[in-house]
Amino acid sequence: MHLFEIKHPVAHSADDMYALVANIEDYPQFLPLCEALKIKRRELIENKEVLIATMQVGYKLIRESFTTKVVLDPATRTIFVEYLDGPFSHLENRWQFIPRAAGGSDIDFYIAYSFRSRMFERLVGGLFDKAVQKYTTAFEARADEVYGVKTLAFSSHE
The full set of domains in the chain, from first to last, is 2-147 (3.30.530.20)
Report the 10 Å Cβ neighbour count for 34. Answer: 19
Distance in angstroms (rounded) separating the CA atoms of residues 139 and 111:
15
64-82 pLDDT tens trace: 899 999 999 999 999 999 9
pTM for this model (two decimals): 0.86
Distance in angstroms (rounded) separating the CA atoms of residues 47 and 65:
29
107-118 pLDDT tens trace: 999 999 888 878
